[in-house]
């Protein structure tokens, strides 16, 4: 399984480097035996590229003495069990505000006692300006990965629900696909090999979903005001990752490698009091991402 995840990492690195024109710097790391977490991985980072202000593609393969709260909140019966977790995560933050930020994560978990295994992951798109054509393409690729309309509707709805800043009643972005606890008990799951194959297919489809959007928007002109708006919206990205993201919380709670966990953060972000919506393009994005406080009540 590690070989397949490592192959996916290499595929993503080649594709993103081709888009950007700059290579990633590789940082292999190891957690020594004897601590709460052991294992290692390879974190690959690109900064100051032709397209990406920061990009990261990380492979991790770790063993822990006990699953942390971020993993057992939904499955309290697994509390205290030792485990192995493995996966690939990716985040790219473009310089041009017309190019969306994008995120991918695919992962596997297995308890050492054999009591449980599951897969999780997905990808989502976080634009700074709303472009319906970009969303349509992103969703078209997402739908093609799913075996049925019902499966797509479930994983798309789960993505919208997960990537929501509940303290703001606002989605982080336009969504995509999200799944967790994918195993034989999941409505759209199955056996181990079936779930693993679907997980890898999501990872491999990321470039098909994202690269055409980058090519379409990368040369679009922008202003310093657009960059200021981008930094403001990136603040929302930081808020979600530090407050709500289970992957970030899992890494920090389990004693993971902080530098690799926080590679997902944008290089520049800002906060200011009150919403600084000053033009129609900004307003369209905010309207598209706003969630009714009563939705789902």
Our answer to whether residue 103 is catalytic in this structure is yes
> In which region does residue 48 sit, left (phi positive, over 0), alpha (psi from -120 to 50) or beta (all else)?
left
Q: What is the longest distance spanned by two Cα atoms in the chain?
A: 56
Cβ neighbours, 10 Å, residue 40: 15
Is residue 117 within 8 Å of residue 71, measured between CB atoms? no
- Taking the alpha carbons of 57, 63, 64, 67 in that order, is the dihedral positive or negative? positive
Phi/psi of residue 176, nearest 5 degrees = 160, -110
Q: What is the spatial distance between Cα 27 and Cα 42, in angstroms, rounded to a whole number?
A: 6
> Which residue out of 103, 137, 186, 194 is catalytically annotated?
103
Cβ neighbours of residue 136 closer than 8 Å, sequence gap 6 or more: none
Find tokens 């017309």 and name the residue: 98
Cβ neighbours, 10 Å, residue 105: 21
Active site residues: 103
């Amino acid at each position: 399984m590690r070989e397949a995840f490592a192959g996916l990492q290499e595929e993503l690195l080649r594709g993103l480097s081709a888009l950007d024109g700059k290579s990633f710097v590789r940082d292999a790391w190891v957690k020594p035996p004897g601590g709460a977490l052991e294992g290692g991985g390879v974190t690959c980072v690109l900064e100051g590229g032709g397209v990406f202000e920061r990009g990261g593609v990380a492979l991790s393969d770790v063993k822990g003495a006990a699953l942390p709260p971020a993993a057992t909140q939904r499955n309290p019966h697994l509390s205290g069990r030792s485990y192995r977790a493995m996966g690939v995560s990716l985040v790219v933050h473009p310089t041009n505000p017309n190019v969306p930020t994008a995120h991918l994560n695919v992962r596997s978990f297995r308890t050492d006692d054999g009591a449980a295994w599951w897969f999780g992951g997905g990808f989502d798109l976080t634009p700074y300006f709303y472009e319906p054509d970009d969303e349509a393409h992103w969703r078209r690729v997402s739908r093609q990965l799913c075996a049925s309309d019902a499966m797509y509707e479930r994983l798309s709805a789960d993505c919208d629900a997960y990537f929501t800043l509940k303290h703001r009643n606002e989605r982080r972005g336009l969504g995509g696909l999200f799944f967790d606890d994918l195993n034989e008990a999941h409505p759209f799951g199955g056996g181990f090999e079936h779930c693993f194959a679907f997980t890898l297919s999501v990872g491999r489809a990321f470039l098909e979903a994202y690269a055409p959007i980058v090519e379409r928007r990368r040369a679009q002109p922008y202003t310093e005001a657009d960059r200021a708006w981008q930094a403001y919206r990136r603040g929302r990205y930081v808020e979600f990752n530090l407050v709500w993201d289970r992957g970030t919380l899992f890494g920090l709670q389990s004693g993971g490698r902080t530098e690799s966990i926080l590679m997902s953060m944008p290089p520049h972000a800002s906060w200011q009091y009150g919403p600084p919506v000053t033009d129609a393009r900004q307003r369209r994005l905010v309207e598209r991402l706003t969630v009714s406080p009563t939705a789902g009540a």
